[in-house]
Amino acid sequence: MSGFFARRPPDRPGLAVFLNAGDPPLPVLADVMRMLDDCRVDCLELAVPFPNSVTDGPVIRRSAQRALADGVGLDEVLDFLAGVLPGLRHLRVALLADWSHTVRAPTVPGFVRRVADAGVHGLLVHGLPPRLRADCLDAVRAAGLPLVATCYAASSPEVRAAAAECATAYLYLVAHYGRSGGGLTADHRELAAALAALRTRTTAPIAVGFGVRSRADIDLLHGLGADAAVVGSAGVARIEHALAEGADVVEEFHTFIQTVSPYSPSRQEAHR
């Protein structure tokens, strides 16, 4: 199994969390990432911030706007990651970059090489036009960079098969159509059927996201056949609350992680 979730005990689901780079500010984010590493969170899906995402609800959109207002872009994110990633022991980072806002300006091979050189463990390209998928695949293979592929539970069998074939980091199965920030409203039978069908076409781990807000949600998804779950808006909202209240962002987010993680030792235990 991919290194993103291979260190998880086999009877427990993996955990990925989503954040926008720059929200919280990058120096604080470095401490958040070290905390996630101590707590053995498997994956941080870290977005290069971009505006007006059509798939995100207001919580993640506000987060991206705060980061953009602070001047955080691709250069700042890659420089930041190059400094932080060598110190991590468990946490893996999948960089999410939007095609229109972040990737389209440089050549695809040049962009992918920059991401790989920063030490990132995987790449997810948001909004990649289907006609350019082959070029992107060629570039990530040449760079030796694992790819996160995405599809919906309700996608056609052909779309799911294409995503399964592309995924080398993990396959992100979006539980339902709509925008992020709601609850886990997906039909459980449809989700289980999609997971079973994907399992026959890929050896990459399958992580389910959109609407995952609690440990109960994560356990439910694991029971349906998911290897891992992705927690997004619920965690970003805790960051937003901490920033608004002037609270300790790292401690606030640590408390949140303790409530959702299937396996989250204290930071002191993690160092034993």
pLDDT score at 1 = 40
Higher pLDDT among residues 186 and 73, named by residue = 73
Confidence label for 271 from pLDDT (cuts 50, 70 and 90): very low
Percentage of the chain modeled with pLDDT above 70: 91
Lookup: tokens for 108: 């695809």
The C-alpha torsion from 114 through 1 and 34 to 238, rounded to 10°, is 100
**Residue 159 in contact with residue 198, Cβ under 8 Å?**
no
What are the structural domains of the chain? 14-270 (3.20.20.70)
Q: In this structure, which amino acid lies at residue 20?
A: N
What 3-state class would DSSP assign to 95?
strand
What's phi and psi for 268, nearest 5 deg? -70, -45
pLDDT in tens, 124-171: 999 888 888 888 899 999 999 999 999 999 899 999 999 999 999 999
Residue 57 C-alpha from the chain's centroid:
16
User: DSSP letters of 155-179?
Assistant: S-HHHHHHHHHH-SSEEEEE-SSS-
Higher pLDDT among residues 104 and 51, named by residue = 51
Q: In this structure, which amino acid lies at residue 123?
A: L
**Average predicted confidence (pLDDT) for the chain:** 90
Higher pLDDT among residues 271 and 108, named by residue = 108
pLDDT of 241 strictly over 50: yes
Sequence-distant contacts of 216-220: CB under 8 A, at least 24 apart: 217/184, 218/13, 218/15, 218/260, 218/262, 219/13, 219/262, 220/184, 220/188
**Which of 10-19, 77-86, 243-252, 255-264 is least confident?**
255-264
pLDDT of 270 strictly over 60: no
Helices (H), 58-171: 58-69, 74-84, 108-117, 133-143, 157-166
**Residue 194 in contact with residue 159, Cβ under 8 Å?**
no
Spatial neighbors of 126 by CB under 8 A, at least 6 apart, are 47, 50, 53, 55, 96, 97, 98, 99
Catalytic residues: 45, 56
User: DSSP letters of 198-249?
Assistant: HHTT--S-EEEESS--SHHHHHHHHHHT-SEEEE-HHHHHHHHHHHHHT--H
Spatial neighbors of 55 by CB under 8 A, at least 6 apart, are 126, 179, 180
